Structure 1
Amino acid sequence: MAFELEKLYSRRRDIHEKFGGQQQGGISTPASAPYIFLFTSEAGEQHGYHDGYDENGLFIYTGEGQVGPMQFLRGNRAIRDHINDGKELLLFASTKKSGIYRFKGTFVCAGCDDEKIGPDTEGNPRRLIQFHLTPSSVVAAHLQDESSEIVVTENISLDEMRKRAYAAVENKVCTAPVVSKKNLYKRSEDVKAYVLARAKGICESCGKAAPFLNKGGKSYLEAHHIRQLSDDGLDIPSWMAAICPNCHREIHHGQDGAMKNQILQAQIKNFENSQFVDVAAQ
């Protein structure tokens, strides 16, 4: 990760000079970086923006657009589709010093609400888009929690599990915050269930059988986000792998961990791409 939690950064020097992106506004979408930068400030309230945590633990982030109804264009579309586009949401909060922002962490868009009404810059009522963001670390903890594992009671194929996992990621229906949070966890569970089933009890890194059975009698493998070397990445099947604890530790802490992760990335990408080809050929 290029940024440290709660550390202060210059928006111009530390963000835009290094990664590019729009230097004005609350949403910056540099084309060549795997990030979408979100900036929140109390000054945004004059434009009808009200950001902050709600009672569900979600950070409510108001989309862009100062006059007229907000639409899913440009930055708003980028936030909504960030998982499919492979972009991390990085949130920064303004400070009393102009141009200096505090990094608040990496987030995942759990959903959105496009039915709220609020004033625009000219004071006229208009439709708002409010995104429901949750810290990526919360999603990662849910994925690693053994108690969150889905118990599949119906006899479904790996292909059907795969379809469910990708369908969950594609879901872009706007809902209330509490529903968004439930949908996010369900999406994570569908992805986790598919990735574990895809592995068939074999580590997707070293190719060896899982070292032991978990308390539920299933092969113990851990969910690893292959897109980045921390495990709070995006929960999408093509960027997740089921690997043994030894490989997991080596990737994170080993001398050759980065190379091992790159090899794993290529393996998972090739497998998932081959599944798309097979489906298209049917």
Structure 2
Amino acid sequence: MFTSKIGKEFGYDDGWTDDGTFEICGEGQVGDMLYVRGNKALLEHRENGKELHLFEAVGKGYVRYISQMVYKSHREDIGKDKNNVNRKRIIFELSTEYTSNEHDQALSSSKTIEGKKVVRYTTTYERDPIKREQAIAIHGLSCMACDFNFEKVYGEHGKGFIHVHHNKPLNETGETIVDPEKDLTVLCPNCHAMVHKNKKNTLTLNELIQLLN
């Protein structure tokens, strides 16, 4: 899945919202957007067991990987097509959250027991304010692998944005009390995606750093 700054010329208006959601227009340059082909595939990617990866076109022949995404919801509005004619648009709302048992582990208060196989987790690190703030207070807001800092690059718009990663999947540890200092790592979306790229082998922070050097 690709996004591009020149998409506005064709009636697309993609971008991040304040809560970390990425909004992307569906496919279709002329006339109403329909729930077919790529739009249908995006809408049903979870049910079909397909992963969703977002790339940004940054120049002729060059793209930048942003993150693995998941579908959250969608809405319809009215916008211009490439001929400047009003038409129905589909706006998909995507999240960088991981939703599989290996990728997406719920975090609650600092003394809760996590990792029971009987629980189907639907929340993620970014959505738990207690764990998130504890980890950030300890580790800061710069990626612990590549040192990327969203506020330094994007200014006020990027302030406070970072992923909080569970160092060891809870399906491996079973029930455990999470220590934000030892068990959680702050990572940018790119590094977070690389940690989980191989579902059978979650990289450690040191292994990820070695790949970058």
TM-score bracket, shorter-length normalisation: 0.5 to 0.7
User: Kindly tell me: are residues 142 and 70 of structure 1, through their superposed partners in 2, closer, same or farther at Cα, counting changes over 3 Å?
Assistant: same
Correspondences of 1:183-222 after superposition (within 5 Å): 185=123, 214=177
Match of 2:87 among 126, 132, 136: 126
Aligned residue for 2:29? 66
Deviation at 1:229, TM superposition (A): 9.6
The answer to which structure has the higher strand fraction is 2
User: Kindly tell me: are residues 106 and 253 of structure 1, through their superposed partners in 2, closer, same or farther at Cα, counting changes over 3 Å?
Assistant: closer
CA distance in 1, matches of 2:62, 2:203: 33
User: Kindly tell me: are residues 69 and 41 of structure 1, through their superposed partners in 2, closer, same or farther at Cα, counting changes over 3 Å?
Assistant: same
Deviation at 1:69, TM superposition (A): 1.1
CA distance in 1, matches of 2:50, 2:103: 20
Aligned residue for 1:112? 74
- Quick check: 1:41 aligned with 2:12? no
Aligned residue for 1:76? 39
Give the TM-score normalised by structure 2: 0.52
User: Kindly tell me: are residues 232 and 122 of structure 1, through their superposed partners in 2, closer, same or farther at Cα, counting changes over 3 Å?
Assistant: same
| Contact map agreement 1:40 1:93 (CA 8 A) in 2 | yes
SS at match of 1:107: strand
User: Kindly tell me: are residues 146 and 232 of structure 1, through their superposed partners in 2, closer, same or farther at Cα, counting changes over 3 Å?
Assistant: farther
Deviation at 1:60, TM superposition (A): 0.6
Q: Which letter does structure 2 place at the counterpart of 1:77?
A: K
Q: Which whole-Å deviations, capped at 9, do the CAs of 1:68-104 have from their partners, x for residues lacking one?
A: 1111110001111111111111111111x30110111
Deviation at 1:124, TM superposition (A): 1.2
User: Kindly tell me: are residues 101 and 45 of structure 1, through their superposed partners in 2, closer, same or farther at Cα, counting changes over 3 Å?
Assistant: same
User: Kindly tell me: are residues 213 and 82 of structure 1, through their superposed partners in 2, closer, same or farther at Cα, counting changes over 3 Å?
Assistant: closer
Give the TM-score normalised by structure 1: 0.41
Aligned residue for 1:92? 55
Deviation at 1:136, TM superposition (A): 3.1
SS at match of 1:83: coil
Q: Which whole-Å deviations, capped at 9, do the CAs of 1:227-249 have from their partners, x for residues lacking one?
A: x995589xxxxx9xxxxxxxx9x
- Quick check: 1:145 aligned with 2:107? yes
Q: Which runs of 5+ in 2 are unaligned?
A: 128-169, 179-192, 205-213
Give RMSD over aligned pairs: 4.1
User: Kindly tell me: are residues 229 and 47 of structure 1, through their superposed partners in 2, closer, same or farther at Cα, counting changes over 3 Å?
Assistant: closer
User: Kindly tell me: are residues 46 and 138 of structure 1, through their superposed partners in 2, closer, same or farther at Cα, counting changes over 3 Å?
Assistant: same
Deviation at 1:145, TM superposition (A): 1.3
> How many residues end up aligned between the 2 structures?
141
Deviation at 1:253, TM superposition (A): 6.3
Deviation at 1:214, TM superposition (A): 4.5
Q: Which has the higher contact order (CA 8 A, sep 6+)?
A: 2
CA distance in 1, matches of 2:194, 2:85: 46
Aligned residue for 2:154? none
